[in-house]
Amino acid sequence: MAPNSIVYLFGFLPVVLVVYLTLDRYGFDRIRLIALLIASCVYYSFSNPRLLLLLLFSIALNFLIGRKLTREAELSDIGSSGWLWIGVGGNLALLGYFKYANFLLTTLNQVFGTTYLIQAVLLPIGISFFTFMQLAYLVDAYNGQAARYSALEYILFVSFFPYVLSGPIVTHREVIPQFSKKRSAVTLWEDFGVGSALFFIGLFKKVILADGVSDYSTPVFNAVSHGMSLSFFESWFGALAYTAQLYFDFSGYTDMAIGAARLFGITLPTNFNSPFKASSIIEFWSRWHMTLTRFLTNYIYNPIVLQVVRSRSAARKAVIQKGVGTFGAFFAIVAYPTLLTMFISGLWHGAGWTFIAFGFLHGIYLAINHGWRMWRKTRGDATTEVSWVGRALGRFLTFVGVVVSFVFFRADSLSTACRLLKGMFLGHGISLAHSVSSHWPRIAQKLGDYHIVFEGFTYTPLVQTLFWITACYFLVWGCPNSQQWLGYFRPVLGSVKPAFPAECAWRPTISWAIVLGFIVTMALWGVIGIARPVGFLYFKF
Amino acid sequence: MSTTSRTREDIAKELTGIFHNVFDDDRIVLSDSMTAADIPEWDSLNHINLVVATEQHFEIKFKTSEVAKMANVGEFIEAIASKLQR
């Protein structure tokens, strides 16, 4: 069930909330959690009941192994590595079969010219998300850092419907203790206010912004996929529109997830913090899909780098100290772990060469970024004080790099991506509107000398495209983000700096109620009036 | 590097020295709620440098999940304290 579908908005969510609040009101503490669990199972099985069995099997496997590891760690500080590897292997086997078997087989067939076939495997929605959540739990249990949870708590933690399909990738430590929390009447109303505000902001982002701007990205990618070579402006319009679409689609989903969970008194971690305001690619990843970055950093990147640094220190080899190091140290401590982590990140997003390219590209970006910092440090530049020109340049470069990587993310094949990128970097010339040559023939003639043609914008009506792209990026760069806007009401876990100046932050006043009312009306109109197909981009992963 | 029991203040003081050394900046004043967002140079790489320098200074070794929990200075100190108690 998609959270922007009519059945969810007008049936499932209100009914579950009323039942939950009633049980809460009359003190049925355990039953209210059971109700939430049943609701989550109904939600997950809505599109295909058989997939629920897979989810429950995965949960059972991890719960039993995790419990065993926790008990062992209580006795001897650490669990048995045998059980950890069985658990990790089991998770990766499930993920591998359902997500990567077809890709692997197709690739092998291409390499060896064979024609092996397996039945089309249906991708269980959310499998990448609940697999990562549980891998982290297993490692924590093994390290003696997981409490003993009841079966009810654990199953609900993994299957909780607001985030089961597409994250945020939450941790057991931050969510499970909240299940048993008692709420006062004041908190209950505050949760309701903040939760529904975030929910409708997210719905607005999805059905108005992301779906709206997709009209200007989809035709471009389709045309290029069919072999068209588009000129400079058309290519950029398509890539910029898609970048905005992906951001509003995914951060919209996230806002809806955080909002829906909050209605039930559960506060979730931040997942987006204005990523396009980042002035370096390192900073970008600390603002984009933050819970994925947190998982990758904590459970892949850190263990690798720790291992490398410890063993190099023990062998008295060069390490990076005070931001300065040798080339060998840079390769072993920075480039190799970064590339490997981002390669895994790319593959996590999807089984395909375009995603591998996406991950690899970001690995290279990050390595360059770290290398640049080291080089500046070696030269003795103060890296903390950067002028506004430097920051603006950094933000521009970061943004362009991200847009380029999203071309790979969106394109149906590497050749489509490369053809679009060639257009973006002037490989297919520049074309301007017909009217330029009819209105200003002399200017047109001059420009013609520079191989600029006047064949118009076939795939993107100019005025609408410019309107949508401008509107989207005004919101991206010129406005506070949703958690800053609600910053005075603890919208997410961790600290939030409320929007500045304080007048820009939400307060329960008449004028803000009108703004929010407008957002709610537009969002609902988007669902009922425009009524597009409901899928979110990240449901593929 | 004494092995006698340290108070939380002792650990914080020694940790301040480690931060000054890793970031090459003696002006840093630690507070419990301080995170990577407060120190521009506190990136993923320097986080590991902090962890390794802490390990060497206190002669302890952190596990993966302990490092994962050390997101702010307060949690750093807690993690060190719980290691030293054992």
In sequence order, what are the beta bridge partners of B35? Answer: B72
Nearest alpha carbon to residue A46 among A125, A121, A119, A99: A125
For the segment A71-94, the average pLDDT, to the nearest whole number, is 94
**Residues A475-514 as b or e (16 or more Cβ within 10 Å = b):** bbeeebbbbbbbbebbbbbbebebbeeeeebbeeeeeeee
A271 within 8 A of A251, measured Cβ to Cβ: yes
For the segment A308-326, the average pLDDT, to the nearest whole number, is 87
Q: Does A286 touch chain B (CB under 8 A)?
A: yes
B24 within 8 A of A323, measured Cβ to Cβ: yes
**Residue A350 in tokens:** 């999807």
Task: Please tell me whether the interface predicted TM-score (ipTM) of this complex is above 0.95.
Answer: no
Clarify whether A349 is annotated catalytic: yes
Cβ contact A384–B67 (<8 Å): no
In Å, how far are A11, A254, A460 from A192, measured between CA atoms? 18, 17, 41
How confident is residue B47, by pLDDT bands cut at 50, 70 and 90? very high
Cβ contact A302–B48 (<8 Å): yes
pLDDT in tens, A146-157: 999 999 999 999
The answer, yes or no, to whether residue A31 has pLDDT greater than 60, is yes
Q: Looking at this protein, which amino acid is placed at residue B20?
A: H
- Which A residues in the span 105-164 are in contact with B, Cβ-Cβ below 8 Å? 136, 139-140, 142-145
Please write down the HEC assignment for all residues of A338-402.
HHHHHHHHHHHHCCCHHHHHHHHHHHHHHHHHHHHHHHHHHHCCCCCCCCHHHHHHHHHHHHHHH
In sequence order, what are the beta bridge partners of A523? Answer: none
Instruction: Please tell me the distance from the alpha carbon of residue A501 to that of residue A465, in angstroms, as a whole number.
Output: 31
Q: Does A383 touch chain B (CB under 8 A)?
A: yes
At CA A400, angle to CA A395 and CA A406, rounded to 5? 125
pLDDT of residue A8: 96
Q: Which of A145, A309, A384 sits opposite B41 (nearest CB)?
A: A384
Which of A172, A349, A362, A370 is catalytic? The answer is A349
pLDDT in tens, A437-474: 778 888 888 888 877 888 777 666 888 999 999 999 99
Instruction: Please tell me the distance from the alpha carbon of residue A120 to that of residue A135, in angstroms, as a whole number.
Output: 26
Instruction: Show residues of chain B in contact with A306, CB under 8 Å.
Output: 48, 51-52, 64, 67
Nearest residue of B to residue A313 by CA position?
A: B52
Taken in order of first residue, the domains within chain B and their CATH numbers are 3-84 (1.10.1200.10)
For the segment A159-184, the average pLDDT, to the nearest whole number, is 95
Instruction: Please tell me the distance from the alpha carbon of residue A39 to that of residue A159, in angstroms, as a whole number.
Output: 10
How confident is residue B4, by pLDDT bands cut at 50, 70 and 90? low
Choosing among A302, A331, A342, which should be mutated to test the B contact, i.e. which has the most B CBs within 10 A?
A302
